């Protein structure tokens, strides 16, 4: 039986340093504008996020990236502009043999006043390894963390893990103080993290208040705090920005982009791919020939141009153009079955409306499948009301927007989590021995270039199963008021507000 984990769709979701957008490195702690808040201490930022907290801001679930985007939490490492591991709470690291790594900590302070010590870091990572369900970044990994002297954390894995520094950049592996774990029922990040902004008040799933953490190791944030609102309706977010109620509105719907002044909208290529997932274990699409028929019926060229109105790129594979190395390494799908005949077969297609373009994408997919002879019943719900059914395989098909690098930054991790027999987020219900073997080979490859080659070979196997049909690679539109500077826009959707964000 598969063990299903919470997805990391929310960014869409902990571990990055949320600093000014600079060309060399998203995670750098430097920069001329990362220090003083100005004579007046800086203004507060009014920010709207698209997804409300679903798990009381637990760092182990979908809320992890909410914390990272708001500058609350960070981990031992971060991701730089090239998708490599960069220093965060750890200023350096080295590998010691096949199964051990040593991370040297920088001088840093928790928001509740304690020092970030090796013992505190080891305790925080141990809590993550014990979490149920386990964070996606730890899928298939047995990890042990121990203090080793005054500044070093030694992390040992049961099997060699060549990408551990990347893994530790995950928003779900944020470092929190011991006080965060004092409660019996949940982890509490309020006032117990290390980022430039401290979460001080949470108003259910409606809003949250954050104040500047003046002792942040990376420099004093220029904004004095953040007033965050969680507004699921994309039109409402755009309207609030346009009328001056907001300074920053994430994930502005494509249909609303034209209502904003050109100078107040930014589009950013992301590592998010919207795909059609076909249930390969039961129902209509258990038949590989019918999956092939569905894949052949879908004209992916229309989505980027028509549904996303140019704010997207046509679907090319599991990895899109924001994963810059992928295109030159992509090979043709392997092992595809011959297309069968739909013959009036009835299927259920589902998606969610938190990302406003998805219902329209699903409607177009429905029409294309019906033209090919399928009968399609479409279900659209808010994501939290849809997730458990999707993970249990209750739909024949599912339209999903998935950031392929949000969990770990490792391109192999999303393949293992989403498309293997034991994958914790396998909505496609795919269980194919050839796919599992290709993914396992990629997981065991240490050299970066060779690991990328192996990931693309695994992608070819997965695409050959026709359990996933990449539709479009999304660009995220962020609404930013004219008076605001320093918003952090990057392809992994882990960051938004940093020390240099100000108005």
Q: Which pTM value belongs to this model?
A: 0.78
Q: Determine, yes or no, domain membership for 126.
A: no
Q: Using CA atoms, how far apart are residues 65 and 14, in angstroms rounded to an integer?
A: 6
Q: How confident is the model at residue 29 (pLDDT cuts 50, 70, 90)?
A: very low
| Rounded mean pLDDT, 331-355 | 94
pLDDT in tens, 427-457: 999 999 999 999 999 988 888 889 999 999 9
251 within 8 A of 12, measured Cβ to Cβ: yes
To 5 degrees, how large is the angle CA 166–CA 171–CA 173? 75
More confident of the two residues 294 and 22: 294
Question: Is the pLDDT at 56 greater than 90, yes or no?
Answer: no
Counting every residue written for the chain, the total comes to 503
Long-range Cβ contacts of 144-149 (<8 Å, 24+ apart): 145/121, 146/122, 147/117, 147/118, 147/119, 147/121, 147/122, 148/102, 148/118, 149/118
pLDDT in tens, 167-217: 999 999 999 999 999 977 789 999 999 999 999 999 999 999 999 999 999
Question: Is the pLDDT at 32 greater than 80, yes or no?
Answer: no
Half-sphere CA count of 50, side-chain side, radius 13 A = 27
Question: Is the pLDDT at 4 greater than 80, yes or no?
Answer: no
CB atoms within 10 A of CB 400: 24
Q: Determine, yes or no, domain membership for 256.
A: no
pLDDT in tens, 473-501: 989 899 999 999 999 998 888 999 999 99
More confident of the two residues 220 and 62: 220
Specify the CATH number for the domain of residue 386.
3.10.105.10
Q: Determine, yes or no, domain membership for 159.
A: no
pLDDT in tens, 412-432: 988 998 999 988 889 999 999
Question: Is the pLDDT at 2 greater than 70, yes or no?
Answer: no
230: CB partners within 8 A, 6+ apart:
48, 49, 50, 51, 52, 53, 205, 206, 207, 208
Q: Determine, yes or no, domain membership for 182.
A: no
Secondary structure class of 118 (helix, strand, coil): helix
Task: Give how many domains the chain has, as a whole number.
Answer: 1
Backbone dihedral angles phi then psi of residue 35, each to the nearest 5 degrees: -110, -95
Question: In this predicted structure, what is the pLDDT of residue 126?
Answer: 96
Question: In this predicted structure, what is the pLDDT of residue 10?
Answer: 35
Q: Using CA atoms, how far apart are residues 183 and 181, in angstroms rounded to an integer?
A: 6
Q: Which domain holds residue 406?
A: 269-475
13 within 8 A of 171, measured Cβ to Cβ: yes
pLDDT in tens, 379-407: 999 888 899 999 999 999 999 999 888 77
Q: Determine, yes or no, domain membership for 116.
A: no
Question: In this predicted structure, what is the pLDDT of residue 464?
Answer: 98
Q: Determine, yes or no, domain membership for 371.
A: yes
Q: Using CA atoms, how far apart are residues 362 and 226, in angstroms rounded to an integer?
A: 35
Pick from 4-13, 98-107, 362-371, 489-498: least confident: 4-13
Q: Determine, yes or no, domain membership for 310.
A: yes
Q: Using CA atoms, how far apart are residues 377 and 427, in angstroms rounded to an integer?
A: 18
More confident of the two residues 218 and 356: 218
For the chain, what is the largest distance between any 2 Cα atoms, rounded to a whole number of angstroms? 72
Q: Determine, yes or no, domain membership for 185.
A: no
Q: What are the start-end ranges of the E strands in 50-111? A: 77-79, 85-87, 90-95, 100-105
pLDDT in tens, 251-308: 999 989 989 999 999 999 888 899 999 999 999 999 999 999 999 999 999 999 999 9
CA dihedral 85, 89, 92, 98 (to 10 degrees): -70
Nearest CA among 403, 424, 480, 500 for reference residue 13: 403
Secondary structure class of 426 (helix, strand, coil): coil
């Amino acid at each position: 039986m598969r063990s299903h984990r919470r997805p990391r769709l929310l960014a869409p979701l902990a571990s990055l340093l949320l600093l000014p957008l600079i060309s060399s490195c998203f995670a750098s702690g430097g920069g001329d504008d990362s220090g003083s808040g100005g004579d007046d201490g800086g203004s507060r930022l009014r920010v709207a996020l698209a997804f409300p907290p679903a798990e009381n801001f637990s760092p182990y679930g979908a809320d992890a990236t909410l914390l990272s985007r708001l500058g609350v939490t960070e981990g031992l490492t971060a991701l730089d502009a090239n998708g490599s591991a960069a220093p965060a709470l750890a200023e350096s690291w080295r590998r010691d043999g096949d199964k051990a790594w040593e991370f040297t900590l920088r001088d840093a302070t928790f928001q509740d006043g304690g020092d970030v010590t090796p013992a505190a870091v080891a305790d925080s990572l141990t809590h993550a390894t014990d979490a149920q369900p386990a964070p996606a970044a730890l899928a298939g990994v047995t990890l042990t963390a121990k203090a080793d002297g005054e500044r070093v954390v030694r992390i040992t894995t049961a099997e060699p893990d060549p990408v551990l520094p990347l893994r530790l950049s995950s928003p779900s592996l944020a470092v929190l103080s011991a006080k965060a774990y004092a409660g019996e029922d949940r982890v509490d990040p309020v006032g117990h993290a290390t980022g430039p902004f401290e979460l001080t008040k949470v108003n259910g799933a409606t809003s949250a208040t954050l104040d500047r953490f003046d002792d942040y190791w990376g420099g004093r944030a220029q904004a004095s705090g953040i007033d965050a609102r969680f507004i699921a309706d994309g039109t409402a977010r755009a309207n609030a920005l346009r009328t001056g109620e907001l300074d920053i509105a994430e994930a502005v719907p494509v249909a609303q982009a034209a209502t904003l002044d050109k100078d107040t909208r930014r589009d950013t290529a992301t590592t998010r791919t919207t795909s059609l997932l076909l249930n390969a274990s039961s129902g209509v699409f258990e038949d590989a020939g019918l999956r092939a028929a569905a894949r052949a019926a879908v004209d992916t060229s229309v989505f980027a141009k028509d549904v996303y109105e140019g704010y997207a790129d046509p679907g090319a594979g599991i990895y899109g153009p924001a994963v810059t190395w992928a295109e030159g390494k992509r090979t043709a799908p392997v092992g595809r079955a011959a297309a069968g005949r739909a013959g009036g077969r009835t299927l259920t297609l589902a998606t969610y409306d938190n990302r406003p373009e998805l219902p329209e994408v699903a409607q177009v997919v429905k029409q294309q499948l019906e033209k090919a002879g399928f009968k399609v019943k479409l279900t659209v719900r808010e994501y939290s009301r849809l997730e458990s059914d999707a993970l249990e395989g209750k739909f024949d098909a599912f339209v999903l927007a998935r950031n392929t690098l949000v969990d770990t930054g490792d391109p192999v991790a999303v393949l293992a989590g989403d498309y293997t027999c034991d994958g914790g987020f396998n909505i496609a219900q795919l269980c194919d021995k050839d796919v599992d073997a290709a993914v396992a080979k990629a997981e065991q490859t240490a050299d970066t270039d060779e690991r990328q080659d192996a990931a693309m070979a695994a992608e070819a196997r997965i695409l050959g199963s026709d359990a996933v049909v990449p539709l479009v690679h999304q660009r995220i539109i962020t609404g930013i008021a004219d008076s605001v500077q320093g918003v952090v826009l990057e392809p992994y959707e882990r960051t938004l507000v940093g020390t240099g964000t100000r108005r």
